[in-house]
Copies of this chain bind each other. A is one copy, B any other.
Amino acid sequence: MSIQKTVTVDLGERSYDIVIGPGVLAQAGERIKAISPGARCAIVTDANVNAAHGEALRASLDAVGIEHSTLEVEPGEQTKCMAVFEHVVGGLLDARLERRDLVLALGGGVVGDLAGFAASVTRRGMDFVQIPTSLLAQVDSSVGGKTGINAPQGKNLIGAFHQPRLVLADTDVLKTLSPREFRAGYAEVAKYGLIDRPDFFEWLERNRQKVFAFGPELVEAVAVSCQSKADVVARDELEGGLRALLNLGHTFGHALESATRYDGSRLVHGEGVAIGMALAHRFSNRLNLCSMDDVNRVEAHLRVAGLPVTIGEIPGDLPGPEKLLDYIAQDKKVSRGKLTFILTKGVGQSYIARDVPSSEVLQFLKEVT
Protein backbone atom coordinates (compact mmCIF):
# COMPACT_ATOMS: atom_id res chain seq x y z
CA MET A 1 0.00 0.00 0.00
CA SER A 2 2.99 2.26 0.45
CA ILE A 3 2.91 2.83 -3.28
CA GLN A 4 -0.24 4.94 -2.94
CA LYS A 5 0.15 8.68 -3.38
CA THR A 6 -2.07 11.55 -2.27
CA VAL A 7 -2.35 14.88 -4.09
CA THR A 8 -4.26 17.72 -2.42
CA VAL A 9 -6.23 20.21 -4.48
CA ASP A 10 -5.83 23.42 -2.50
CA LEU A 11 -9.08 25.39 -2.69
CA GLY A 12 -9.47 26.69 0.85
CA GLU A 13 -12.67 25.37 2.39
CA ARG A 14 -13.28 23.26 -0.72
CA SER A 15 -9.88 21.54 -0.68
CA TYR A 16 -9.84 17.81 -1.28
CA ASP A 17 -7.52 14.85 -1.65
CA ILE A 18 -6.90 12.69 -4.68
CA VAL A 19 -5.77 9.25 -3.54
CA ILE A 20 -3.92 7.36 -6.26
CA GLY A 21 -2.63 3.80 -6.47
CA PRO A 22 -3.48 0.11 -6.39
CA GLY A 23 -6.07 -0.99 -3.83
CA VAL A 24 -7.76 2.40 -3.45
CA LEU A 25 -11.20 1.09 -4.46
CA ALA A 26 -11.20 -1.44 -1.62
CA GLN A 27 -10.55 1.41 0.83
CA ALA A 28 -13.43 3.54 -0.49
CA GLY A 29 -15.76 2.78 2.45
CA GLU A 30 -13.34 3.73 5.19
CA ARG A 31 -12.10 6.81 3.33
CA ILE A 32 -15.66 8.02 2.67
CA LYS A 33 -16.68 7.37 6.25
CA ALA A 34 -13.73 9.44 7.40
CA ILE A 35 -14.78 12.54 5.43
CA SER A 36 -18.57 12.20 5.89
CA PRO A 37 -19.52 10.13 8.93
CA GLY A 38 -23.19 9.18 8.83
CA ALA A 39 -23.70 10.08 5.17
CA ARG A 40 -25.65 7.80 2.88
CA CYS A 41 -24.43 7.21 -0.69
CA ALA A 42 -25.88 6.91 -4.17
CA ILE A 43 -23.52 5.24 -6.63
CA VAL A 44 -23.95 6.56 -10.18
CA THR A 45 -22.26 4.29 -12.70
CA ASP A 46 -22.68 2.79 -16.15
CA ALA A 47 -23.59 -0.80 -16.92
CA ASN A 48 -20.07 -1.84 -17.95
CA VAL A 49 -18.29 -0.30 -14.99
CA ASN A 50 -20.95 -1.55 -12.63
CA ALA A 51 -20.37 -5.10 -13.87
CA ALA A 52 -16.60 -4.76 -13.49
CA HIS A 53 -16.23 -2.76 -10.26
CA GLY A 54 -19.66 -2.13 -8.71
CA GLU A 55 -19.53 -5.07 -6.32
CA ALA A 56 -16.06 -4.15 -5.05
CA LEU A 57 -17.26 -0.64 -4.20
CA ARG A 58 -20.49 -1.86 -2.56
CA ALA A 59 -18.57 -4.44 -0.50
CA SER A 60 -16.25 -1.71 0.71
CA LEU A 61 -19.22 0.46 1.75
CA ASP A 62 -20.98 -2.48 3.40
CA ALA A 63 -17.86 -3.30 5.39
CA VAL A 64 -18.10 0.00 7.26
CA GLY A 65 -21.90 0.13 7.44
CA ILE A 66 -22.57 2.87 4.86
CA GLU A 67 -26.08 2.77 3.40
CA HIS A 68 -26.05 2.91 -0.39
CA SER A 69 -28.12 2.58 -3.54
CA THR A 70 -27.04 2.37 -7.19
CA LEU A 71 -28.24 4.30 -10.24
CA GLU A 72 -27.07 2.66 -13.46
CA VAL A 73 -26.93 4.54 -16.76
CA GLU A 74 -26.05 3.41 -20.29
CA PRO A 75 -22.36 3.51 -21.22
CA GLY A 76 -21.34 6.05 -23.84
CA GLU A 77 -21.20 9.75 -24.60
CA GLN A 78 -24.91 9.94 -25.50
CA THR A 79 -25.60 9.46 -21.77
CA LYS A 80 -24.34 13.01 -21.12
CA CYS A 81 -27.69 14.49 -22.13
CA MET A 82 -30.56 16.36 -20.51
CA ALA A 83 -32.86 13.31 -20.39
CA VAL A 84 -30.40 11.11 -18.47
CA PHE A 85 -29.45 14.08 -16.29
CA GLU A 86 -33.10 14.50 -15.32
CA HIS A 87 -33.31 10.75 -14.63
CA VAL A 88 -30.29 10.83 -12.32
CA VAL A 89 -31.46 13.91 -10.42
CA GLY A 90 -34.87 12.26 -10.02
CA GLY A 91 -33.19 9.11 -8.70
CA LEU A 92 -31.24 11.10 -6.11
CA LEU A 93 -34.43 12.84 -4.97
CA ASP A 94 -36.38 9.57 -4.90
CA ALA A 95 -33.69 8.13 -2.65
CA ARG A 96 -34.38 11.09 -0.32
CA LEU A 97 -30.74 11.96 -0.08
CA GLU A 98 -29.88 15.16 1.73
CA ARG A 99 -27.27 17.79 0.95
CA ARG A 100 -24.55 16.25 3.08
CA ASP A 101 -25.16 12.76 1.71
CA LEU A 102 -22.87 11.67 -1.10
CA VAL A 103 -23.09 10.94 -4.79
CA LEU A 104 -20.35 8.50 -5.79
CA ALA A 105 -19.44 8.83 -9.47
CA LEU A 106 -17.99 5.43 -10.41
CA GLY A 107 -16.87 5.42 -14.03
CA GLY A 108 -15.08 7.33 -16.75
CA GLY A 109 -15.45 10.93 -17.79
CA VAL A 110 -19.06 10.57 -18.92
CA VAL A 111 -20.24 9.26 -15.55
CA GLY A 112 -18.11 11.74 -13.62
CA ASP A 113 -19.35 14.75 -15.59
CA LEU A 114 -22.98 13.62 -15.46
CA ALA A 115 -23.06 12.54 -11.82
CA GLY A 116 -21.08 15.57 -10.68
CA PHE A 117 -23.48 17.92 -12.43
CA ALA A 118 -26.49 16.07 -11.00
CA ALA A 119 -24.95 16.38 -7.53
CA SER A 120 -24.28 20.08 -8.07
CA VAL A 121 -27.95 20.94 -8.65
CA THR A 122 -29.80 18.41 -6.49
CA ARG A 123 -31.03 20.35 -3.46
CA ARG A 124 -28.82 23.15 -4.80
CA GLY A 125 -25.67 21.15 -4.24
CA MET A 126 -24.95 17.72 -2.78
CA ASP A 127 -21.53 16.43 -1.84
CA PHE A 128 -19.91 13.99 -4.24
CA VAL A 129 -16.90 11.73 -4.63
CA GLN A 130 -15.20 10.93 -7.93
CA ILE A 131 -14.09 7.31 -8.40
CA PRO A 132 -12.61 7.51 -11.92
CA THR A 133 -12.10 4.20 -13.70
CA SER A 134 -10.43 5.38 -16.92
CA LEU A 135 -6.96 6.87 -17.25
CA LEU A 136 -8.47 9.93 -18.91
CA ALA A 137 -10.82 10.49 -15.98
CA GLN A 138 -8.09 9.86 -13.40
CA VAL A 139 -5.70 12.43 -14.80
CA ASP A 140 -8.15 14.97 -16.15
CA SER A 141 -11.91 15.06 -15.80
CA SER A 142 -12.21 13.89 -12.18
CA VAL A 143 -9.94 16.68 -10.95
CA GLY A 144 -10.91 20.34 -10.89
CA GLY A 145 -14.66 20.41 -10.48
CA LYS A 146 -15.82 20.83 -14.06
CA THR A 147 -19.06 18.91 -14.47
CA GLY A 148 -21.71 18.96 -17.16
CA ILE A 149 -23.60 17.48 -20.05
CA ASN A 150 -23.79 18.04 -23.79
CA ALA A 151 -26.34 20.22 -25.57
CA PRO A 152 -27.55 19.90 -29.15
CA GLN A 153 -25.49 23.06 -29.72
CA GLY A 154 -22.24 21.46 -28.54
CA LYS A 155 -20.36 19.43 -25.97
CA ASN A 156 -20.20 20.36 -22.28
CA LEU A 157 -22.23 23.52 -22.82
CA ILE A 158 -24.46 22.89 -19.79
CA GLY A 159 -22.84 22.34 -16.42
CA ALA A 160 -21.37 23.68 -13.23
CA PHE A 161 -18.14 24.08 -11.35
CA HIS A 162 -18.66 21.72 -8.45
CA GLN A 163 -15.66 20.34 -6.59
CA PRO A 164 -15.74 16.76 -5.27
CA ARG A 165 -15.05 16.05 -1.61
CA LEU A 166 -12.59 13.31 -2.53
CA VAL A 167 -11.17 11.58 -5.62
CA LEU A 168 -10.30 7.88 -5.44
CA ALA A 169 -8.14 6.81 -8.39
CA ASP A 170 -7.41 3.08 -8.23
CA THR A 171 -4.71 2.35 -10.82
CA ASP A 172 -5.41 -1.41 -10.73
CA VAL A 173 -8.82 -0.65 -12.20
CA LEU A 174 -7.08 0.65 -15.34
CA LYS A 175 -6.09 -2.93 -16.22
CA THR A 176 -9.65 -3.49 -17.43
CA LEU A 177 -9.34 -0.74 -20.08
CA SER A 178 -8.83 -1.54 -23.73
CA PRO A 179 -5.33 -0.63 -24.99
CA ARG A 180 -6.87 2.09 -27.16
CA GLU A 181 -8.63 3.68 -24.17
CA PHE A 182 -5.44 3.54 -22.13
CA ARG A 183 -3.42 5.18 -24.91
CA ALA A 184 -6.04 7.90 -25.32
CA GLY A 185 -5.79 8.70 -21.61
CA TYR A 186 -2.02 8.81 -21.92
CA ALA A 187 -2.32 11.74 -24.34
CA GLU A 188 -3.56 13.85 -21.40
CA VAL A 189 -0.68 12.63 -19.24
CA ALA A 190 1.82 13.76 -21.88
CA LYS A 191 -0.08 17.06 -22.10
CA TYR A 192 0.98 18.08 -18.58
CA GLY A 193 4.62 17.67 -19.58
CA LEU A 194 4.07 19.71 -22.71
CA ILE A 195 2.25 22.54 -20.88
CA ASP A 196 4.88 23.48 -18.33
CA ARG A 197 6.77 20.43 -17.07
CA PRO A 198 9.62 19.66 -19.49
CA ASP A 199 11.27 17.42 -16.87
CA PHE A 200 8.12 15.33 -16.63
CA PHE A 201 7.97 15.01 -20.42
CA GLU A 202 11.57 13.80 -20.40
CA TRP A 203 10.71 11.35 -17.61
CA LEU A 204 7.82 10.05 -19.72
CA GLU A 205 10.14 9.60 -22.69
CA ARG A 206 12.30 7.35 -20.48
CA ASN A 207 9.51 5.56 -18.56
CA ARG A 208 6.64 5.26 -21.01
CA GLN A 209 6.93 1.48 -21.31
CA LYS A 210 6.83 0.99 -17.54
CA VAL A 211 3.78 3.24 -17.33
CA PHE A 212 2.05 1.10 -19.95
CA ALA A 213 3.11 -2.06 -18.04
CA PHE A 214 1.18 -0.89 -14.91
CA GLY A 215 4.35 -0.56 -12.88
CA PRO A 216 4.78 1.89 -9.99
CA GLU A 217 5.64 4.40 -12.73
CA LEU A 218 1.93 4.47 -13.62
CA VAL A 219 1.09 5.68 -10.11
CA GLU A 220 3.81 8.31 -10.44
CA ALA A 221 2.54 9.43 -13.86
CA VAL A 222 -1.05 9.75 -12.61
CA ALA A 223 0.09 11.56 -9.46
CA VAL A 224 2.23 14.10 -11.37
CA SER A 225 -0.65 14.64 -13.80
CA CYS A 226 -3.13 15.24 -10.97
CA GLN A 227 -0.64 17.53 -9.21
CA SER A 228 -0.18 19.49 -12.43
CA LYS A 229 -3.89 19.93 -12.89
CA ALA A 230 -4.41 20.68 -9.18
CA ASP A 231 -1.80 23.45 -9.35
CA VAL A 232 -3.56 25.12 -12.26
CA VAL A 233 -7.05 24.68 -10.76
CA ALA A 234 -5.95 26.09 -7.40
CA ARG A 235 -4.82 29.25 -9.18
CA ASP A 236 -7.87 29.57 -11.45
CA GLU A 237 -10.84 27.57 -10.16
CA LEU A 238 -13.46 29.12 -12.45
CA GLU A 239 -11.44 29.26 -15.67
CA GLY A 240 -10.91 33.01 -15.73
CA GLY A 241 -7.52 32.72 -17.37
CA LEU A 242 -4.64 30.39 -16.52
CA ARG A 243 -6.84 27.30 -16.60
CA ALA A 244 -7.07 27.69 -20.36
CA LEU A 245 -3.57 26.19 -20.52
CA LEU A 246 -5.18 22.82 -19.86
CA ASN A 247 -6.73 23.17 -23.31
CA LEU A 248 -3.39 22.58 -25.03
CA GLY A 249 -4.27 20.47 -28.06
CA HIS A 250 -7.98 20.80 -27.37
CA THR A 251 -8.88 23.56 -29.82
CA PHE A 252 -7.76 21.54 -32.83
CA GLY A 253 -8.82 18.33 -31.04
CA HIS A 254 -12.41 19.42 -30.42
CA ALA A 255 -12.72 20.63 -34.01
CA LEU A 256 -11.63 17.19 -35.21
CA GLU A 257 -14.04 15.48 -32.83
CA SER A 258 -16.83 17.70 -34.20
CA ALA A 259 -15.72 16.97 -37.76
CA THR A 260 -16.01 13.23 -37.08
CA ARG A 261 -19.32 13.78 -35.28
CA TYR A 262 -17.86 12.30 -32.11
CA ASP A 263 -17.78 8.88 -33.74
CA GLY A 264 -15.52 7.00 -31.34
CA SER A 265 -14.80 4.33 -33.93
CA ARG A 266 -12.96 7.04 -35.90
CA LEU A 267 -11.54 9.27 -33.18
CA VAL A 268 -11.72 9.25 -29.40
CA HIS A 269 -11.09 12.35 -27.31
CA GLY A 270 -7.52 11.50 -26.33
CA GLU A 271 -6.60 10.81 -29.95
CA GLY A 272 -8.04 14.18 -30.93
CA VAL A 273 -5.94 15.77 -28.19
CA ALA A 274 -2.82 13.94 -29.41
CA ILE A 275 -3.30 15.21 -32.96
CA GLY A 276 -4.22 18.62 -31.53
CA MET A 277 -1.03 18.81 -29.46
CA ALA A 278 1.10 17.84 -32.44
CA LEU A 279 -0.70 20.49 -34.53
CA ALA A 280 -0.33 23.11 -31.77
CA HIS A 281 3.45 22.57 -31.84
CA ARG A 282 3.56 22.55 -35.63
CA PHE A 283 1.41 25.71 -35.79
CA SER A 284 3.69 27.35 -33.21
CA ASN A 285 6.64 26.42 -35.42
CA ARG A 286 4.93 28.04 -38.44
CA LEU A 287 4.57 31.18 -36.32
CA ASN A 288 8.31 30.99 -35.55
CA LEU A 289 7.64 30.34 -31.89
CA CYS A 290 8.87 26.77 -31.52
CA SER A 291 11.70 24.78 -33.13
CA MET A 292 11.13 21.94 -35.59
CA ASP A 293 13.18 19.74 -33.25
CA ASP A 294 10.52 20.19 -30.59
CA VAL A 295 7.74 19.42 -33.08
CA ASN A 296 9.52 16.21 -34.05
CA ARG A 297 10.20 15.25 -30.45
CA VAL A 298 6.52 15.66 -29.49
CA GLU A 299 5.30 13.73 -32.51
CA ALA A 300 7.82 10.94 -31.93
CA HIS A 301 6.76 10.44 -28.33
CA LEU A 302 3.05 10.38 -29.11
CA ARG A 303 3.63 8.03 -32.04
CA VAL A 304 5.64 5.56 -30.01
CA ALA A 305 2.81 5.58 -27.46
CA GLY A 306 0.51 4.45 -30.29
CA LEU A 307 -1.26 7.78 -30.75
CA PRO A 308 -2.08 9.54 -34.03
CA VAL A 309 -0.39 12.89 -34.68
CA THR A 310 -1.72 13.98 -38.09
CA ILE A 311 -5.19 14.66 -39.45
CA GLY A 312 -4.52 12.16 -42.24
CA GLU A 313 -4.48 9.30 -39.73
CA ILE A 314 -8.20 9.75 -39.00
CA PRO A 315 -10.09 7.14 -41.04
CA GLY A 316 -12.84 8.33 -43.42
CA ASP A 317 -13.53 11.64 -45.09
CA LEU A 318 -13.12 14.94 -43.29
CA PRO A 319 -14.40 18.43 -44.12
CA GLY A 320 -12.00 20.95 -45.63
CA PRO A 321 -9.98 23.68 -43.87
CA GLU A 322 -12.75 26.31 -43.97
CA LYS A 323 -15.22 23.99 -42.24
CA LEU A 324 -12.61 22.98 -39.65
CA LEU A 325 -12.01 26.66 -38.91
CA ASP A 326 -15.73 27.07 -38.43
CA TYR A 327 -15.72 24.24 -35.87
CA ILE A 328 -12.84 25.97 -34.07
CA ALA A 329 -14.74 29.27 -34.01
CA GLN A 330 -17.80 27.51 -32.58
CA ASP A 331 -15.79 26.11 -29.70
CA LYS A 332 -16.66 27.76 -26.43
CA LYS A 333 -13.11 28.95 -25.87
CA VAL A 334 -13.90 31.96 -28.01
CA SER A 335 -13.98 35.25 -26.13
CA ARG A 336 -15.90 38.07 -27.83
CA GLY A 337 -15.09 36.73 -31.29
CA LYS A 338 -11.30 36.40 -30.98
CA LEU A 339 -9.66 33.00 -31.34
CA THR A 340 -7.85 31.84 -28.23
CA PHE A 341 -5.13 29.24 -28.80
CA ILE A 342 -2.64 27.56 -26.54
CA LEU A 343 0.65 28.05 -28.36
CA THR A 344 4.13 26.98 -27.27
CA LYS A 345 7.74 28.09 -27.39
CA GLY A 346 8.84 24.47 -27.08
CA VAL A 347 8.38 21.38 -24.92
CA GLY A 348 6.95 22.50 -21.57
CA GLN A 349 6.67 26.16 -22.59
CA SER A 350 3.02 26.62 -23.51
CA TYR A 351 1.17 29.89 -23.13
CA ILE A 352 -2.24 31.41 -23.81
CA ALA A 353 -2.50 33.47 -27.02
CA ARG A 354 -5.74 35.41 -26.93
CA ASP A 355 -6.02 36.96 -30.38
CA VAL A 356 -4.73 34.58 -33.00
CA PRO A 357 -5.95 35.81 -36.42
CA SER A 358 -8.28 33.29 -38.03
CA SER A 359 -6.51 33.88 -41.38
CA GLU A 360 -3.30 32.39 -39.92
CA VAL A 361 -5.21 29.38 -38.63
CA LEU A 362 -6.88 28.85 -41.99
CA GLN A 363 -3.57 29.05 -43.84
CA PHE A 364 -2.10 26.46 -41.47
CA LEU A 365 -5.07 24.14 -41.83
CA LYS A 366 -4.70 24.27 -45.60
CA GLU A 367 -1.12 23.02 -45.19
CA VAL A 368 -1.92 20.12 -42.87
CA THR A 369 -5.14 18.73 -44.32
Chain A interface main SS type? mixed
What CA separation (Å) do A10 and B90 show in the bound complex?
A: 34
Q: Is A94 an interface residue (CB 8 A)?
A: yes
Closest to A124 in B: B159
Binds B, one of A24-32, A215-223, A291-299, A331-339: A331-339
A124 with B160, Cβ < 8 A, contacts A38-B336, A151-B89, A336-B38 known: yes
A121 with B159, Cβ < 8 A, contacts A86-B82, A336-B38 known: yes
Q: Is A120 an interface residue (CB 8 A)?
A: yes
Q: Is A250 an interface residue (CB 8 A)?
A: no
Interface positions of A from 65 to 116, Cβ below 8 Å from B: 82, 86, 89-90, 93-94, 98, 100
> What are the residues of chain B within 8 A of A156 when measuring CB–CB?
124
Say yes or no: B336 contacts A98, CB within 8 Å.
yes
> What are the residues of chain B within 8 A of A125 when measuring CB–CB?
160-161, 238
CB distance from A38 to the nearest CB of B (A): 7
> What are the residues of chain B within 8 A of A151 when measuring CB–CB?
89-90, 93
Interface positions of A from 119 to 135, Cβ below 8 Å from B: 120-125
Say yes or no: A154 contacts B124, CB within 8 Å.
no
> What are the residues of chain B within 8 A of A100 when measuring CB–CB?
335-336
> What are the residues of chain B within 8 A of A123 when measuring CB–CB?
157, 332
What CA separation (Å) do A31 and B90 show in the bound complex?
A: 40
What CA separation (Å) do A90 and B150 show in the bound complex?
A: 11
Q: Is A315 an interface residue (CB 8 A)?
A: no
Say yes or no: A335 contacts B120, CB within 8 Å.
no
Say yes or no: B90 contacts A152, CB within 8 Å.
yes
CB distance from A212 to the nearest CB of B (A): 34
With A82-B82, A94-B153, A100-B336 given, can you name 8 additional A-B contacts, CB distance below 8 Å? Answer: A90-B152, A93-B153, A93-B154, A98-B336, A121-B121, A121-B159, A123-B157, A124-B159
9 example contacts (A-B, Cβ-Cβ < 8 A) are as follows A89-B151, A93-B157, A98-B332, A98-B334, A100-B336, A121-B121, A121-B148, A125-B161, A160-B160
Spell out A's residues near B (CB within 8 Å). Answer: 38, 82, 86, 89-90, 93-94, 98, 100, 117, 120-125, 146, 148, 151-154, 156-161, 238-239, 332, 334-336
